[in-house]
Structure 1
Amino acid sequence: MDGIKIVTIGGGSSYTPELIEGFINRYEELPIRELWLVDIPAGKEKLEIVGALAKRMVEKAGVPMKIHLSLDRKTALPGADFVTTQIRVGQLEARAKDESIPLKYGVIGQETNGPGGLFKGLRTIPVILDICKDIETLCPGAWLINFSNPAGMVTEAVLRYSNIKKTIGLCNVPIGMQMGVAEMLEVDPTRVRIDFAGLNHMVYGLEVYLDGQIITETVIEKLTNGAGMTMKNIVDLGWEKDFIQALGVLPCPYHRYYYQTSNMLEQEQQDFAENGTRAQVVQKLEKDLFKLYSDPTLTTKPPQLEERGGAHYSDAACSLIHSIYNDKQDIQPVNVRNNGAIAGIPADSAVEVSCLITKEGPKPIHIGELPVPVRGLVQQIKSFERVAAEAAVTGNYQTALLAMTINPLVPSDSVAKEILDEMVEAHMDYLPQFHLSIV
């Protein structure tokens, strides 16, 4: 193959400089001849700013990677080997509604969990499926690497409602957990490995290894004695020591919404009163980032990007593409079809699990039964994802209400209906599939 062609849809994202840096760092083994950054007309200004920075970064690195900018994905897609998607339908204004409306009803407002996660999926899945149709026509041999949230629900929808077989969902949470453990132990992250299993933003570290030796109990002990492990967008409230020791596995930062619901809700309400939604905070961060990106002397990814909350997403994508292209057969946690890796989850459903990465794609590592203490919650969230994906495709109001109600963060069907009705109205511009079903 005479070099690789990659198309990034959502190329005007503030995360894109991290993607460029990752490709530059791997260029010797991942020779990208063309990288197309694609966005929609509303994102033209950001695309041009990020695209100019990308070109400066490539020029400084001295690698022969051609950067193209486009507002038409059908022009960009032909001949692509990999397509990455990092879209936000409705942009940060929609996220602000996802976060603020549930709070009015005493329910957690978060962009990938609970009502907010449902509505992000309802907006995002139809757009991703349209992209899938273009891939099927214009570059049917390409891998689709999605890190648009909610990544697990999106992967579920692609597997069920498109003809794309070569699809993988990505998340930065497992990488963040690995780095968090390394920081606890004061060791290089490459010495740490974690066996991951569960769902996107519902993944557990079943075993933790240092230089190949199991150290799970040591890490759990540190976690219960003040060692922190969270993300920029999730407050670290600590864990009840006896609970975590009884759980026996490593929870991810998002588990706080399910195991510490009342405390997290109280914290969200306080943060909202003082600073607005997380989306509004991010808008300010992005404004500062794009001001930095606009500096014609900037030729590297600025360290301020790590404050954005999604650090390492793009590097995970680069690492995955690198491993597929070079048949590395290393182990990485990704969202793929279960195929029996996790018992109790349908074989055709999407799971987040450690996989062997080969030139044929990810091969899920067999986990078997999840531990009893976590099994039920994972299955409940999988039911939510399945029903939510169906609602996104069909635009059926009752199906959306069912999804909202079975989510464990929503207390009752009546509250679910109230939130659903307000959020459908608030997001109607991005929910055309619901126009005929709302009464």
Structure 2
Amino acid sequence: MHQLEERSSSQSRSSVKIGYIGGGSHGWAHTLINDLLQCDDLAGTVSLYDIDYEAAEQNARLANGLADRPDANGAWTFEARRNVDDALADADFVICSIQDPVEETFVHDIDVPQEYGIYQTVADTVGPGGTLRSMRVIPQYREIASTVREQCPDAWVINYTNPMTVCTRALYEEYPDINAIGLCHEVFGTQRLLADVAETHIDEAEDVTANEINMNVKGVNHFTWIDNAYWHGHDVFQYLDRELEERQPIPGFEPGELDDESYWTNHHQIAFDLYDRFGLLGAAGDRHLAEFVPWYLDIDEPAEIQRWGVRLTPSSARTGDSEGPAKMEQYLSGDEEFEFTESGEEVVDIMRALGGLDPIKTHVNYPNRGQTPDLTDGAVVETNAVITGSGVAPITAGELPREIRSMVMTTVNNQETLIEAGFAGDLDLAFQAFLNDPLVTIQRDEARELFAELVDLERDYLRNYDLEDADVLED
């Protein structure tokens, strides 16, 4: 978000080891490769671990080939590892970006609730899908934290996996002394929105970039809020009423009107509607914000959500990666050239800051240590922080308005319940969080049937839970 000072050009290149869990990715792994190979003041080794070893080995071959190009500034060696212990041994940084097989998990999380009249725009953080995904990742992140404790106890763990809050929280629950943060893109979108607001309403504002917007971040991941925003000393937040008026009517679309738009389209209608109702701006994409409250997704047909300028993401949009493997083959064969780009990601800047180079101020997911005093102490919250060679220093964000706090605390309480359930293997306790989710608006018996059906479909990924003695699974 903000670079605080320049590093002297006379400083030498720092050498580090990065252990990457999920290193067979055809998506985010390529972004990391892109960014590292354009960084000229860090160097070292990236150990790629993935349960699909061949995919990790392909990424290593691709990256090592790119490192030899004259336009690659970074001095990095990439290696695939079959064993997670080897990948993390003596690592300075650990990056996590993992996902269970979509066809066996995520598809059910989206499709089955719809049979009960429950619609989800994303299904990876809250709602029935977010609950099941949390249940699956908690045991996995316990293992990651345990491996970090054994192999690289002082490393900084940087998590990209959703549900962001639950994953990061599980790391701390398993290994309280861990150094871990979660990174998410959603707040950047709100910064870009506010940059546009500044350009529209401030006479001297031209070509405003997102990183020029300094705003106060509070809440939890994907249900994040801001209550002030500044551009070079100018109060941007004061123009939101005018912006809201110019965006009327809200909702401003008709069902079916967005059929030809991307599933990931976002018109900020829900963010501004929340601002209109509660006085703070929702600082995430509308697809995420809609899932934390019961009213936007109280629909009878999928197209109805389009009134709010968003679309449901069908399971078909989540299955497989038709382009990734083909593109990888083209890269490796030389039929297509990998182009270095400006990714907009901050992970390399964060590693540089933690390594004692340029400190930065940004937003992270981090345990609540008083920065949001009216939320649960120790719960993972989204917060501004200054990152330096001394670590992560969260910035006090202040309290939330009462009604917003009530909504956010429902999420916090459910996520804390899921952590407790995941560590105890208690399926009945997990069902309590499921039943308390704002999107689960059906009768209790139907909710139990839905939960039991999802558990049965995904039981191979829920083996850490007591499935035999769970009351919720009894007919």
Report the TM-score range of the alignment, normalised by the length of the smaller protein.
0.7 to 0.9
Identify, as 1 or 2, the structure richer in helix.
Answer: 1
Which of 380, 383, 387 does residue 350 from structure 1 map onto?
A: 380
1:377, CA displacement in angstroms? 0.7
1:92, CA displacement in angstroms? 4.9
Which of 28, 32, 48 does residue 15 from structure 1 map onto?
A: 28
Asked if the contact 2:40/2:74 (under 8 Å) is kept, the reply is no
Map of 1:204 onto structure 2: 225
Q: Which has the larger displacement, 324-333 or 145-154?
A: 324-333
Asked if the contact 2:271/2:289 (under 8 Å) is kept, the reply is no
Query: For the residues of structure 2 that align with 1:33 and 1:3, how far apart are their CA atoms?
Result: 5
Map of 1:166 onto structure 2: 179
1:201, CA displacement in angstroms? 1.0
Query: For the residues of structure 1 that align with 2:132 and 2:295, how far apart are their CA atoms?
Result: 20
1:301, CA displacement in angstroms? 5.1
Map of 1:340 onto structure 2: 370
Query: For the residues of structure 2 that align with 1:94 and 1:203, how far apart are their CA atoms?
Result: 26
Which of 72, 83, 96 does residue 85 from structure 1 map onto?
A: 96
Query: For the residues of structure 1 that align with 2:208 and 2:262, how far apart are their CA atoms?
Result: 19
Asked if the contact 1:22/1:318 (under 8 Å) is kept, the reply is yes
Map of 1:55 onto structure 2: 64
Query: What amino acid sits opposite 1:396 in the alignment?
Result: D
- 1:46 matches 2:59: no
Change in Cα spacing, 1:215 to 1:237, as seen in structure 2 (3 Å) is closer
1:374, CA displacement in angstroms? 1.3
CA offsets 1:33-56 (integer angstroms, 9 cap, x no match): 10111100xx23433443333233
Which of 170, 176, 194 does residue 157 from structure 1 map onto?
A: 170
Query: For the residues of structure 1 that align with 2:425 and 2:141, how far apart are their CA atoms?
Result: 15
Query: For the residues of structure 1 that align with 2:32 and 2:272, how far apart are their CA atoms?
Result: 38
Asked if the contact 2:37/2:73 (under 8 Å) is kept, the reply is no
Query: For the residues of structure 2 that align with 1:388 and 1:351, how far apart are their CA atoms?
Result: 16
Asked if the contact 1:49/1:290 (under 8 Å) is kept, the reply is no
Note the aligned Cα RMSD (angstroms).
3.0
Map of 1:300 onto structure 2: 338
Map of 2:454 onto structure 1: 423
Change in Cα spacing, 1:146 to 1:233, as seen in structure 2 (3 Å) is same
Map of 1:28 onto structure 2: 40
Query: For the residues of structure 1 that align with 2:447 and 2:87, how far apart are their CA atoms?
Result: 41
Asked if the contact 1:410/1:416 (under 8 Å) is kept, the reply is yes
Which of 126, 133, 137 does residue 120 from structure 1 map onto?
A: 133
Change in Cα spacing, 1:155 to 1:407, as seen in structure 2 (3 Å) is same
SS in 1 for 2:20: strand
1:327, CA displacement in angstroms? 5.3
Map of 2:236 onto structure 1: 215
1:28, CA displacement in angstroms? 2.3
Query: For the residues of structure 2 that align with 1:325 and 1:258, how far apart are their CA atoms?
Result: 37
CA offsets 1:26-85 (integer angstroms, 9 cap, x no match): x223x1310111100xx2343344333323332221532001112311111111000011
Which entry has the higher C-alpha Rg, 1 or 2? 2
1:268, CA displacement in angstroms? 4.1
Change in Cα spacing, 1:235 to 1:276, as seen in structure 2 (3 Å) is closer
Map 1:173-192 to 2 at 5 A.
173-184=186-197, 185=199, 186-192=207-213
Asked if the contact 1:224/1:244 (under 8 Å) is kept, the reply is no
Change in Cα spacing, 1:263 to 1:117, as seen in structure 2 (3 Å) is closer
Change in Cα spacing, 1:355 to 1:19, as seen in structure 2 (3 Å) is same
SS in 1 for 2:230: strand
Asked if the contact 1:401/1:416 (under 8 Å) is kept, the reply is no
Map of 1:144 onto structure 2: 157
Query: What amino acid sits opposite 2:291 in the alignment?
Result: Y
Change in Cα spacing, 1:340 to 1:276, as seen in structure 2 (3 Å) is closer
Asked if the contact 1:169/1:336 (under 8 Å) is kept, the reply is yes
Query: For the residues of structure 2 that align with 1:240 and 1:198, how far apart are their CA atoms?
Result: 14
Asked if the contact 2:18/2:47 (under 8 Å) is kept, the reply is yes
Map of 1:257 onto structure 2: 291
Asked if the contact 2:385/2:392 (under 8 Å) is kept, the reply is yes
1:373, CA displacement in angstroms? 3.5
Map of 2:405 onto structure 1: 375
Change in Cα spacing, 1:77 to 1:237, as seen in structure 2 (3 Å) is closer
SS in 1 for 2:364: strand
Asked if the contact 2:362/2:385 (under 8 Å) is kept, the reply is yes
SS in 1 for 2:75: coil
- 1:283 matches 2:319: yes
1:407, CA displacement in angstroms? 1.3
Query: For the residues of structure 1 that align with 2:427 and 2:464, how far apart are their CA atoms?
Result: 10
Q: Unpaired segments of 5 or more residues in structure 2? A: 1-12, 200-206, 251-260, 306-310
Please report the TM-score for the alignment, with normalisation by the length of structure 1: 0.87
Query: For the residues of structure 2 that align with 1:323 and 1:35, how far apart are their CA atoms?
Result: 18
CA offsets 1:175-208 (integer angstroms, 9 cap, x no match): 2222333345352223222211100111112212
Change in Cα spacing, 1:217 to 1:92, as seen in structure 2 (3 Å) is farther
Change in Cα spacing, 1:268 to 1:50, as seen in structure 2 (3 Å) is farther
Query: What amino acid sits opposite 2:110 in the alignment?
Result: E
Query: For the residues of structure 2 that align with 1:413 and 1:317, how far apart are their CA atoms?
Result: 43
SS in 2 for 1:3: strand
Q: Unpaired segments of 5 or more residues in structure 1? A: none
SS in 2 for 1:108: coil
Q: How many pairs were matched up? A: 423
Query: What amino acid sits opposite 1:336 in the alignment?
Result: Y
Change in Cα spacing, 1:268 to 1:242, as seen in structure 2 (3 Å) is closer
Asked if the contact 2:57/2:80 (under 8 Å) is kept, the reply is yes
Query: For the residues of structure 2 that align with 1:183 and 1:292, how far apart are their CA atoms?
Result: 34
SS in 2 for 1:433: coil
- 1:4 matches 2:38: no
Change in Cα spacing, 1:232 to 1:198, as seen in structure 2 (3 Å) is farther
Change in Cα spacing, 1:366 to 1:392, as seen in structure 2 (3 Å) is same
